[in-house]
Amino acid sequence: MSTVVVEKEGAIAIVTLNRPDKLNALSLELLGELDDAFLSLSKDAGVSCAILTGAGDKAFAAGADIGAMVEMTTDAARAFSEMGHRVCSRIEKAPFPVIGAVNGFAFGGGCEIALACDFIYASDKAKLGQPEVNLGVMPGFGGTQRLARRVGIGRARELCYTGDAIGAEEALRIGLVNAIVPHAELGAKVREVAAKIAGKGRLAVAQCKRVLFSGEDVPLDVANALEIQAFAMLFGTKDRAEGMKAFLEKRKPAFTGS
């Protein structure tokens, strides 16, 4: 792949959007490679957590590639939107947590890709927003929906209608990002959190993610039934037995993902 770089550090996968000369703008090629990357990683039983970030020092992803969009027909625009939705869904449904490390601009499709991550840590230089209305269009990769679920409908309406960009402090205040980290320390901080997650029971973390995602938009009794099912299923795993045995023996568990 030329526009997406995938590296592994033990059980942690680091996925980097790699068009720094274009501020990691989301071309069809990049979206296709990002989809392929997460499809492959989702089949890798050795991955317990992933980090998604952008190459260079300025941008996570500054949005879609406007130069490539300017001549799009309605049919081409639909296909482009469907591709963006497919990629975001792939990230969202990965069987491991994905941490968005927003190291600069995350506008338009870039913000939408970040929203597909389980949570976001932002550099103190980060700026985020959905500026599509400035171009006479609207978010097309799930931004109207995931943003509303992340920050509430009122904030989402404000950001989508005005097209305004917000800095890291405001993004933290409204719940768009989970933490702000000094720019030079972002990579190290996100790796630290990813390593902490990777040290837990992988099957348990995966079930937490699945139930949190699946239960978000269903009635509470249905969501609670999902939790009961997943909780019981984990009692049939070797990791559950190892985790409880290690606790009683006052030692660190040796989880195997089985």
Tell me which residues are annotated as active site: 112, 132
Q: What are phi and psi of 134, to 5 degrees?
A: -65, -20
Q: Could you tell me whether strands 119-123 and 127-129 are parallel, antiparallel, or unpaired per DSSP bridges?
A: unpaired
Q: What is the DSSP letter of 64?
A: B
Sheet of strand 127-129: strand arrangement = 59-61, 105-107, 127-129, 165-167
Q: Measured between alpha carbons, how far is 63 from 60 in angstroms, rounded to an integer? A: 9
Taking a C-beta distance cutoff of 8 angstroms, is the pair 251, 243 a contact? Answer: no
Rounded to an integer, what is the distance from CA 2 to the centroid of its chain? 21
Q: Which positions ≥6 away from 77 have C-beta within 8 Å?
A: 69, 140
Tokens of 151: 């920050």
Q: What is the DSSP letter of 183?
A: G
Tokens of 148: 């509303």
Q: Which positions ≥6 away from 139 have C-beta within 8 Å?
A: 108, 112, 130, 132, 147, 160
| CA–CA distances in Å: residue 174 to residues 21, 96, 115, 177 | 31, 25, 14, 8
Our CA angle for 85, 90, 92, nearest 5°, is: 90
